[in-house]
Amino acid sequence: MLVENRSANRVPYSSSLRAIMSIAKAQESRQWLSHWPELTREATPLIALPGLARTLGVARIDIKDESKRASLCSFKALGAPIALIRLIQRMWPEQKFEARELFLGKHAAHLRDFTVISATDGNHGRALAAAAHAIGCRCVIVLHKNVSMERESAIAAHGARIVRIAGNYDASVEEAARLASDNRWYVVSDTSYDGYEDIPRDVMQGYGTIAAEILEQRNVRQGDASAYTHVFLQGGVGGLAAGIASYLCEQHGKDRPTMVIVEPEQADCLYQSAIAGRAANATGSVDSVMAGLACGETSPLAWRFLQPSIDFFMTIQDDEAVDAMRLLARAEASDIPVVSGESGAAGLAGLAHLLRDPDLRRKTGLGADSTILLINTEGATAPAVYRELVGKSAEDVMAAQEKWLERA
């Protein structure tokens, strides 16, 4: 399903939004992250897929490959660490802790009794656990019933304490808040609620690194036209989309690209928000193979950025995401194979869905001259699930990728 957002506009980025998230703060976050040994200094690849573009009937498709975001294999590696650093700096302003020293564990003795907690579908919790381990504080992660054991093991490997609950993601958020209140721990969540906006803002600001890297990779400078006519962004609570959309809106103003958010039909909180004109909840079961997007409640803070900037909201079925995973793994024509997890392939699934329908193609302005940006938000963060869905292992796809690079 597709809904046009009547509240979207094309105006210069407002000063009120810039006071919350800005290119300047995104660049600061990016500089801080360069000191974290868990991440490589190099930008993740921006991959051109000319064969896929020809097959789908558009001029260009690029995919930003966050599966290469070091060992964490997900864009979430950019959000939770920045939020944790800024939280520590706010709590101990007199110490004047620097990000570089925190990431190197130089203040671990001071922070050994400090505990952070979060609910997660996997990637956010893994990133928070890894950052907490590096910094030297304690970390508790609440997992709901649908989070795989593979994802649990990956989080626990960073020393986090795991708490399992029987409910879904939204129930795990509630449990994390309860445990934090009972134990005087600090929630580091990527979704906002009344009275809780600083940390989600910092998480979203970290995601601006992705947009900054893309503009550099396409050699787009201030005042230049957008390199893309259309940008497809995954949904979830809205944090990733808000972080990237805010950056592109500040960069391009009224000449920003058309932006489309894609989410599972059973976890359609952003789609419902577009219909209601306010942050709303999903209408479905929330359970989805796209685990990272299986969220039932829109982040109100993220919605402040999405409402004026996202042109279309759409939902897809689980099998469409799986088809897109397979399409990226086998590669079209001369394209390089790409490892994309269930949520990572959602943008391509949304694009393919629109292009199959002449009315939807026309409505969204997609055509032979369109240039498309996709974000592969994760790799095979659950390897067994990936093998089952794609029919081959992530290692097989990466081996094919290496062979392609040797020939290129």
pLDDT at 370: 98
pLDDT at 176: 95
Q: How many domains does the chain have?
A: 2
Annotated catalytic residue: which of 25, 62, 76, 335?
A: 76
pLDDT digits (tens, 9 = 90+) for 65-118: 999 998 888 999 999 999 999 999 999 999 999 999 999 999 999 999 999 999
pLDDT at residue 408 tops 80: no
Annotated catalytic residue: which of 62, 121, 202, 287?
A: 121
pLDDT digits (tens, 9 = 90+) for 263-279: 999 999 999 999 999 99
Average pLDDT over residues 30-54: 94
Closest to 189 measured CA to CA, from 300, 56, 63, 61:
300
Confidence of residue 121 (pLDDT cuts 50, 70, 90): confident
What stretches of 265-397 adopt beta strand conformation (E)?
312-316, 371-376
State whether residue 371 is helix, strand or coil: strand
265 and 182 in a common domain: no
397 and 271 in a common domain: yes
In a domain, 357, yes or no: yes
**From 94-98, 143-147, 228-232, the region with the lowest mean pLDDT:** 143-147
Catalytic status, residue 76? yes
In a domain, 15, yes or no: yes
**Of 187, 208, 226, at which residue does a domain stop?**
187
Rg of the chain over all Cα atoms, to the nearest angstrom? 20
Contact 60, 53 (CB under 8 A): yes
**Of 187, 207, 223, at which residue does a domain stop?**
187
**What's the mean per-residue pLDDT of the chain?**
95
In a domain, 35, yes or no: yes
Per DSSP, the residues of 155-183 read HHTTTPEEEE-SS-HHHHHHHHHHHHHHH
**Of 122, 157, 187, at which residue does a domain stop?**
187
User: How far is residue 304's CA from residue 204's CA, in Å, rounded to a whole number?
Assistant: 12
Confidence of residue 147 (pLDDT cuts 50, 70, 90): confident
133 and 87 in a common domain: yes
Q: Which residue range(s) make up the domain with 240?
A: 2-74+197-407
Catalytic status, residue 121? yes
Q: Which residue has the higher pLDDT, 169 or 142?
A: 142
In a domain, 64, yes or no: yes
Structure tokens at 193: 């609620």
pLDDT digits (tens, 9 = 90+) for 174-203: 999 999 999 999 999 988 988 899 999 999
pLDDT at residue 146 tops 90: no
Q: What percent of the chain has pLDDT over 90?
A: 88
pLDDT at 40: 82
